[in-house]
Structure 1
Amino acid sequence: MAYRERWQAEIAELQAILSGFDLKEERKWGKPCYTLDGKNVVIIQDFKEYCALGFFQGALLKDPKKLLVQLGQVQAGRVMKFTGVEEIAAKTSTIKAYLREAMAAAKAELKVETKPRELPVPDELKDKFRKDPKFKRAFEALTPGRQRGYLFHFTGAKQSATRTARIERAMPAIFEGRGFQERR
């Protein structure tokens, strides 16, 4: 569900701030996304509890005010959360400073050095591979992103029985070459 209606005033306030910069507004992922020379710089996002200004290369920013938050396991992106227009108004000069820094990083083509994230292969999956070589080949034929999605799902279970059950349920989709989140 989009929470755009709830955060309409806050989104408008952020858009007004961003309009003062030499950024191009585009719609990406259904959200206002701002680019510089074709590179994503910042996006306005709406969530249930807050709206946010998401900096695509936020890990490069100095963040002296400690306003940037890392969501999930992303390596480069950082968000600045807001819960009211007053909060945005009070932080306008800081938002602008962060935007200038993000734009300078984009112009300099700076990138966050990402580390490959190796997810452990659970013992239950290794056992299944030993017992069923066709299944192992089908899993290895998946794209790295699809493999990672399944590994994340499998390793998220605390108990061995749950991991085994998840693997069993996922087998038909893996044989069809589908990712964990893909529907038929």
Structure 2
Amino acid sequence: MASGVKSTKIDPYFNKLKQWKEEFELLRSIVLDCEVTEDFKWMHPCYTHDNKNIVLIHGFKEYCALLFHKGALLKDPHGILIQQTENVQAARQLRFTSASQIEELQLIIKSYIDEAIEIEKAGLKVALKKHEDYAVPEELHNKFEEIPELKTAFEGLTPGRQRGYIYYISSAKQAKTREARIEKYIPHILAGKGMDDDLEDNA
């Protein structure tokens, strides 16, 4: 197996790290022991094979991680891959909280990276859900019946904004909470806004 191609232009990024410095350096050396090319994307070290994204190193307050871009296709025999949220379809994380943990798992980490490269070589793709595969919650359907212009406004939103509302409303376990969430965002939907958009932008 060929070793990776290191990029010295990323050295300053690693040198300036305050948190997870030792862990990032260790992850970098492990990843570069595989058949990848080092790059810098989305403000993070990213490792590619034939210009296809394989894995990315990133850090959070409580852990650092390797993010596999097509992690959903990995076999994960050790059951250690993490789906960040239920809405993340393709990517999966390996999370770490210490350099010793990374040292312990380095052979497993390499095997996951090697498998991710093979997946890319084979041209495999994650079967992503289509927009129409997302079910509109019953409470939202009922509100559409009650306020037809709400349905029209909702259907006029971008697919991403529609999904945002569907995720948010559906994630509430109780019908009462789902209904309250719908009520809260009726003005946004009627204004053609997403959940994070400011209504005052219409002024």
TM-score, with structure 2 as normaliser: 0.76
Letter in 1 for 2:18: E
Aligned position for 2:7: none
Letter in 1 for 2:27: L
1:9-58: per-residue Cα shift (whole Å, max 9, x none)? Answer: 11121112223334233333332222222321111121232111111112
Between 168-177 and 101-110, report the one with greater CA deviation.
168-177
Tell me the matched-pair count.
181
Within the candidate set 77, 101, 117, 1:64 is matched to 77
The alpha-carbon distance between structure 1 residues 68 and 155, as it changes in their structure 2 partners (threshold 3 A), is closer
Kindly indicate whether residue 66 of structure 2 is the aligned counterpart of residue 53 of structure 1: yes
Q: Secondary structure at the match of 1:70?
A: coil
**Partners in 2 of 1:87 and 1:157 — Cα distance?**
36
Aligned position for 2:4: none
Within the candidate set 6, 18, 24, 2:31 is matched to 18
Between 121-130 and 140-149, report the one with greater CA deviation.
121-130
The alpha-carbon distance between structure 1 residues 22 and 177, as it changes in their structure 2 partners (threshold 3 A), is farther
| Identity value in percent | 46
**Partners in 1 of 2:116 and 2:73 — Cα distance?**
8
Between 132-141 and 18-27, report the one with greater CA deviation.
18-27
Question: Structure 1: where are the runs of 5+ without partners?
Answer: none
For residues 79-158 of structure 1, the aligned pairs below 5 Å read 79-116=93-130, 118-158=133-173
Aligned position for 2:21: 8
- Following superposition, the deviation at residue 102 of structure 1 comes to 0.8
1:38-80: per-residue Cα shift (whole Å, max 9, x none)? Answer: 3211111212321111111122223233332233223332211
**Partners in 2 of 1:59 and 1:107 — Cα distance?**
16
**Partners in 1 of 2:32 and 2:67 — Cα distance?**
16
